[in-house]
Amino acid sequence: AREIAAGEGTEAGGVCVDARNVPALMEQSRYVKFLQDLGVDLSRDMQQVAPGAHYSLGGVKVQPPTACLGMPGVFASGEVMGGVHGANRLAGNALPETQVFGALAARESIEYLRSKSYAPVRPGDMKPRPVERGESQVWDSLCLARTRQSGRPVEELEFNLREIMQRYGATIRTGPGLEEALARVEKLRRTFREEMMLPVRPGVWHPELVKATELANMLEVAQALLACALVRTETRGAHFRDDFPDRDERFDGHNFVVRGHGEKMSVFRCDRSGKEKVQVWP
């Protein structure tokens, strides 16, 4: 990441991996076969690589094992839930996480259903109704975007967000960088509301609408991620701060919890006991 950030990467923005003399890699693995299909021969060519987001540490807070806090009847399992891996997930633990917590979520769901008495719901019982103005800010923004005759396409906004996160929220983080990123995300949220234009398509195929819906969520996650990275003024596990390159034991066992969304989002620092302690952002 450092070489790339210093401008010493390749034209495409990566670094080269030279595995030409590693015989073990020449064995026919699925990945080697995929590269061969793309015309890349590891014994002959160097490979361009760059850091990319692979896994999401942290996530929904649960009452162990899987019950989402504040949302009765909702259960989270796998990567979406926080607290399983600590500061850094060890390689190979993501798949077992899905199996173990998937099974636990299923079990908890069944217990939950058995503990209440529900009348069975039949198709036709639940009738869709139009979303009312003011019920959902995201929905209102999407509807507004469909009425605009001109504006910014959703692909451009999504690309901007990815650029911001790759530059400021990725492998190497700094205080000023994170502050800059938070400001840009806030600006992007305003653009989403006030300038985004979505084409109106008939029928079920509407990729821009899907992208815009996802983008609304991505903006929330981005803000949460950047804010928590900003207040954790140390380096620990996968979180690397160039301006605080050492681990600070005052953060041992401390977690940051995010509440609310959009302009109302706030971050709290919790101590070892897990009791919510103090608001640290904004």
Which residues of the chain form contacts with another protein (CB under 8 A)? Answer: 30-31, 34, 37-39, 199, 203-205, 207
**Cα separation, 159 vs 144, whole angstroms:** 21
Q: Which is nearer to another protein, 91 or 204 (CB)?
A: 204
Asked whether the beta carbons of 214 and 241 are under 8 A apart, the reply is no
**Cα separation, 6 vs 110, whole angstroms:** 53
Q: Which is nearer to another protein, 3 or 155 (CB)?
A: 155
Asked whether the beta carbons of 201 and 51 are under 8 A apart, the reply is no
Q: How far is the CB of 146 from another protein (least distance, A)?
A: 15
Q: How far is the CB of 135 from another protein (least distance, A)?
A: 28
Q: Which is nearer to another protein, 31 or 55 (CB)?
A: 31
- The position carrying tokens 């060519």 is 45
Q: How far is the CB of 201 from another protein (least distance, A)?
A: 8
**Cα separation, 157 vs 143, whole angstroms:** 17
**Cα separation, 257 vs 35, whole angstroms:** 41
Q: How far is the CB of 139 from another protein (least distance, A)?
A: 23
Half-sphere exposure of 19 (CA within 13 A, CB side): 15
81 pairs with which residues across the strands?
A: 60
Q: Which is nearer to another protein, 70 or 207 (CB)?
A: 207
Q: How far is the CB of 124 from another protein (least distance, A)?
A: 20
Q: Which is nearer to another protein, 6 or 38 (CB)?
A: 38
94 pairs with which residues across the strands?
A: none
Q: Is 68 exposed, middle or buried (0-12, 13-18, 19+ CB in 10 A)?
A: middle
Q: Quick one: DSSP state of residue 142?
A: H
Q: How far is the CB of 53 from another protein (least distance, A)?
A: 13
Give Cα 190 distance to the centre of its chain. Answer: 20
Q: Which is nearer to another protein, 30 or 44 (CB)?
A: 30
